[in-house]
A = this chain, B = another copy of it.
């Protein structure tokens, strides 16, 4: 075990590249600013999923633009030019914030959540977008939108982002270049990924929710553990479909769900053409080791 750990240590500073020379971007998922130390220590090449929910949870009111800006700025500065992909507010379902006054729902996982709230309440969405765009001058930011199911939603998002950019420019506030992408975590997004790819720079496949909807199984329901199969052929086929559709449009594709760190699938993902894996910081070096041993 100690030997294994020592070997992984030697992989710090090395590339995540197969023996055949195929590079994979190996990023980390983080859920708060306190995870940053672990990201650096484990030599992640970027942050593939910055869950912004911690800014919204455990408090009595919405976080202000200034509060958010300070956090995003600190993260991108700490990452010093490496990519930081910030996922916009993914509240709803099992993550509730009382001050948003969300109603009780019969099936919260199939409910009013994430981008649905943001597009329904654009003023709330715009505060987060302003904070992210302002932070973008300090580093290399990507913005990622959760739970998208349609082209109409993407069009609305783009329109709102353009509005915010214009407001900032009109106020002489500088912004950097940002990539925009969506989580692919609904079967709908998979099936129309060819169309969505034309409008976005990248996709990140959220295998947890995607599996939940594809198998129609609440992954937190212990009664169904027996039939919940993360390696289900339907999921692997969806991933291939998304990669193929994305690459045809010059869009890159990552995986940020738990499956991304499943080393029994790393070889398959590389064969499929997956460009990025975003995993828990503590798993970065383990996955790098597997990639470097692939032929």
Q: Is A174 an interface residue (CB 8 A)?
A: no
**Chain A, interface size: which category?**
35 or more
- How far, in angstroms, from A189 to B237 measured CA to CA in the complex? 12
Q: Is A34 an interface residue (CB 8 A)?
A: no
Question: Are the C-beta atoms of A186 and B214 separated by less than 8 Å?
Answer: yes
Report the stretch among A23-31, A38-46, A161-169, A226-234 that lies at the interface: A226-234
Most chain B CB neighbours (cut-off 10 Å) among A94, A107, A111, A227? A107
Note all chain B residues with C-beta closer than 8 A to A153: 227
Partner of A227, one of B116, B217, B234, B238: B116
Note all chain B residues with C-beta closer than 8 A to A106: 94, 108-109, 218, 220-221
The distance from the CB of A45 to the nearest CB of chain B, in whole angstroms, is 31
**A residues at B contact (CB < 8 Å):** 94, 103, 105-112, 116, 147, 149-150, 153, 186-192, 195, 209, 212-218, 220-221, 223-224, 227, 229, 232-234, 237-238
Question: Are the C-beta atoms of A214 and B188 separated by less than 8 Å?
Answer: yes
Question: Are the C-beta atoms of B188 and A221 separated by less than 8 Å?
Answer: no
Question: Are the C-beta atoms of A186 and B216 separated by less than 8 Å?
Answer: yes
The distance from the CB of A246 to the nearest CB of chain B, in whole angstroms, is 16
Closest to A193 in B: B234
Note all chain B residues with C-beta closer than 8 A to A116: 224, 227
Question: Are the C-beta atoms of B110 and A216 separated by less than 8 Å?
Answer: yes
Note all chain B residues with C-beta closer than 8 A to A150: 227, 229, 232
Question: Are the C-beta atoms of B232 and A215 separated by less than 8 Å?
Answer: no
- How far, in angstroms, from A234 to B195 measured CA to CA in the complex? 11
Partner of A223, one of B109, B111, B209, B233: B111
- How far, in angstroms, from A11 to B106 measured CA to CA in the complex? 43
